[in-house]
């Protein structure tokens, strides 16, 4: 095999390749060392969403479903049907939390007789809702669903 003397272009390519390799290695190290920061930041954001959902749930749902979602709210005994124990949704669904089914029940697309009609759900309307027509806004519903997901029993 014949060796060719390095010319100016090949030396430039080698230097460029070494520079690219060093930059990529540096980026990789930065990503590696900042991953725990990003994971902690993401966990804090999720914790904030769950806490907001807990507050929304306490304001709009706990009167029937109870503060822990066990179906033991103060209005429960006065209803024709006992409110669902929302901490068992995963258990009743083969271990998987029914995220979007839960969402559709809260937003009114899936009618639940004890919630009343879509026009006038049992919790009524409120000007503080962010959504149109006095309905819960998507973000508020998602907060509640994430909260419900966080309280599931094993």
pLDDT digits (tens, 9 = 90+) for 6-59: 566 666 667 777 777 767 666 676 666 666 777 777 888 999 999 999 999 998
* CA gap 45, 36 in Å, rounded: 14
Q: What pLDDT sits at residue 125?
A: 44
Residue 132 has pLDDT above 60, yes or no: no
Residue found under tokens 């033991």? 72
Question: 102, 136 in Cβ contact below 8 A?
Answer: no
Structurally, at CATH architecture level, domain 44-150 sits in Orthogonal Bundle (1.10)
Sign of the torsion formed by the C-alpha atoms of 34, 40, 46 and 49:
negative
* CA gap 29, 121 in Å, rounded: 53
Per-residue confidence band for 127, with pLDDT thresholds at 50, 70 and 90 = very low
Residues 6+ apart with CB under 8 A from 70: 85, 86, 87
């Amino acid at each position: 095999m014949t060796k060719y003397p390095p010319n100016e272009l090949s030396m430039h390519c080698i230097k460029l390749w070494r520079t690219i390799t060093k930059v990529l290695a540096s980026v990789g190290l930065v990503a590696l060392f900042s991953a725990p920061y990003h994971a902690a930041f993401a966990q804090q954001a999720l914790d904030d969403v769950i806490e907001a959902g807990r507050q929304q749930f306490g304001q709009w749902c706990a009167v029937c479903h109870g503060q822990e979602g066990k179906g033991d709210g103060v209005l429960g005994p006065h209803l024709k049907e006992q409110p669902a124990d929302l901490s068992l949704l995963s258990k009743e669904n083969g271990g998987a939390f029914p995220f979007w089914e839960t969402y559709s029940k809260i937003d009114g697309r899936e009618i639940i007789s004890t919630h009343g009609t879509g026009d006038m759900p049992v919790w009524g309307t409120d000007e503080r809702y962010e959504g149109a027509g006095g309905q819960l806004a998507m973000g508020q519903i998602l907060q509640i669903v994430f909260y419900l997901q966080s309280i599931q029993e094993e």
